[in-house]
A and B are shown apart, each in its own frame.
Chain A
């Protein structure tokens, strides 16, 4: 087993730089998730760790070894791909054993490892089938099995659940988490789904446009995002962002919300007239009168999920507000509702996105 250290790593395609000097380290046995929107460079970063992409600058170490120039097969990694990448002309058993056979691993050991992986992933009955005869979830299990037989020091997952339906995704999420606790191996997992990131990771690396925005434990990122991007990306539904204008003395006016006012400690340093962005998570609204700033909202869409309801309001004003309310079954489109922002739950950001604490 081994940790992974990424130091000042860059990636350039011609004159275009897509990864701009990324630094972080992953402890031995840790489960780290790279998360970010499409095109943020998370898969490129994973492929650079795997050795499938050259790096244009910096250093990648796995364990105590710098692996910049080490062949992908010698890095001690195994990768699970989004498309499963199973060899369609081979049976499941042949898929699992292919790499070992090609490398001249003793047949008895190969057989033992395949049987062990099949047992761990509960795919023994599928060993003689071809990939086309498997369901999506079974294929993904085989893909993971192919990684397991290598006994890697680091598992790399590139959006492995994206092709599965919602129910299967939840199931496989649990399987991968179980696998991690069973094997105790370092795992790096790429996803654009923040729910996967929140539920599986020991730590999350949030990426945007080839830069690390924040690294931390899931709840740290949720509670203390360093900027507006992270605040918006972590949490579902995403955080509401309301335009704010300082009145001086720590008080803010919300011009798009009927001129409502609120006092925030984070706004103390703002001069009167200075612009800012106030953030409030949908689940943090209080009932009207019970917070520090009441908002009067016109509901455009109401989604009732049973245990909870999402009210989408003020979309016509151009500054939509989403409110998560437990069991507000009576609210419907066209209704008006009043909610309140508790100052202790509000976040304040500069117009450039940086958090004001």
Chain B
């Protein structure tokens, strides 16, 4: 009985791996080729014989990339923007989520519906009026504020935190309230520590969103000193010439930190993905 059960499990694993293995290879192949191309000379990328193994031109390509775009500085801008955005956005969305769970106020349902309703709007619908408001009306083009603040309020983040707080027993907060603990202390000392897994998952998602954001920084930060790394890579696609080797090198440098972050924090990342669905 036990043996047939374990052998069934074994064969199930074989079948799953037989299906998932090739799928993973198909998915990973472009990423591998990106890494391979980043080590090839410009003319090697388009040679008729496709090379599947890395060459030795990475450093040369990186120097060209740095010369063309000042890539290290754009990388620094990207890191700074992503870090600040993540911290501020986590704070803002968790406070909004807390308010939606804790307080009874007139129009609460409407406010909640409006916040979550924005999730259904495609970003491209929002980005043009947002650009007009920030760039034309407020005159904030090429500023840190313009780069960081508009994407801060993330309705997905509010949904995450609202879910996390609403799953916590209300009695915990009642107990603290009776003990004379101030509302801000209840939030920071009781609720937030208990929401750590959700906060971590949210932080990863928000960091990734900011790191990968292309359209908004492209519109609002055109000056080289304010340019983020993805936008800098975009400038390498010209009308007459596309610097593929530099683009691939930059893409590898952009992807690498995320892969490392993901490997170390994938437990939280998966928790984040399932938060909305399960809780």
Contact = CB atoms under 8 A, between A and B. Distances in A.
B169 A99 contact: no
Contact of A73 (B177, B190, B193, B194): B177
Q: Which bracket fits the contact residues of A?
A: 20 to 34
A51 B172 CA distance: 15
Interface in B132-177: 169, 171-172, 174-177
A99 B172 contact: no
A102 B172 contact: no
A188 to B, nearest CB: 13
Contact of A77 (B172, B178, B182, B193): B178
A87 B172 contact: yes
B174 A79 contact: yes
Interface in A39-92: 47, 50-52, 71-74, 77-79, 81-83, 85, 87-89
A85 B174 contact: yes
A139 interface: no
A73 B169 contact: no
B257 interface: no
A150 interface: yes
B190 A52 contact: no
Contacts of B176: 87, 98-99, 102
Most buried by A among B178, B179, B194: B178
B172 A150 contact: no
Contacts of B172: 85, 87
B175 A146 contact: yes
Given A87-B190, A89-B194, A52 B174 contact: yes
A104 to B, nearest CB: 10
Contacts of A330: none
Contacts of A88: 194
A99 B180 contact: yes
B178 A72 contact: yes
Contacts of B169: 83, 85
A71 to B, nearest CB: 8
Contacts, number: 61
Most buried by A among B176, B179, B194: B179
A83 B178 CA distance: 15
B189 interface: yes
A102 B175 contact: no
B179 A81 contact: no
A52 B178 CA distance: 8
B178 A102 contact: no
B106 to A, nearest CB: 13
B174 A81 contact: yes
Nearest to B179: A99
A103 interface: yes
Nearest to B181: A102
B222 interface: no
Interface string B169-205: 1011011111111100100011001100000000000
A89 B189 CA distance: 10
Contact of B179 (A47, A52, A89, A102): A102
Nearest to A89: B193
Interface of B: 169, 171-172, 174-182, 185, 189-190, 193-194
30 contacts: A50-B178, A52-B174, A71-B180, A72-B177, A73-B178, A73-B179, A73-B181, A79-B174, A79-B178, A81-B175, A82-B171, A83-B171, A85-B169, A85-B171, A85-B174, A85-B175, A87-B172, A87-B176, A89-B193, A98-B176, A98-B181, A99-B176, A99-B179, A99-B180, A99-B181, A100-B179, A102-B176, A102-B179, A102-B180, A102-B185
Given A79-B175, A81-B174, 20 more contacts: A51-B178, A52-B177, A52-B178, A73-B177, A73-B178, A73-B179, A79-B174, A81-B171, A85-B171, A85-B174, A85-B175, A89-B194, A98-B176, A98-B179, A99-B181, A102-B180, A102-B189, A103-B181, A146-B175, A146-B179
